[in-house]
Structure 1
Amino acid sequence: MTEAVYDVGAPEPKPIDEELSVKLGHLAEDAILRGKPNGAERCDNCLYYLDTDKDITYCWHPKLRVLVGGDWWCQWWEEIPED
Structure 2
Amino acid sequence: MSDYEIPPPEPKEIDEKLSMELQILASNAVLKGHPSGDEKCDNCLYYLDPTQEISYCWHQKLRILVGGEWWCQWWEEIPEE
Letter in 2 for 1:78: E
Take 2:8 and 2:65, find their aligned partners in 1: how far apart are those partners? 26
Q: Which residue does the alignment assign to 2:51?
A: 53
Q: Which residue does the alignment assign to 1:22?
A: 20
Letter in 2 for 1:39: G
Question: How many residues end up aligned between the 2 structures?
Answer: 77
In the TM superposition, structure 1's runs of 4+ consecutive aligned residues that sit over 4 Å from their partners are: none
The answer on 1:80 being equivalent to 2:69 is: no
1:10 corresponds to which of 8, 11, 18: 8
* RMSD value, Cα: 1.0
Spell out, residue by residue over 1:32-81, the C-alpha distance to the aligned partner (whole angstroms, 9 max, x if none). Answer: 00000000000000000000100000000000000000000000000001
Normalised by the length of structure 1, the TM-score is 0.89
| Alpha-carbon shift at residue 9 of structure 1 (Å) | 3.4
Normalised by the length of structure 2, the TM-score is 0.91
Structure 1, unmatched stretches of 5+, are 1-6
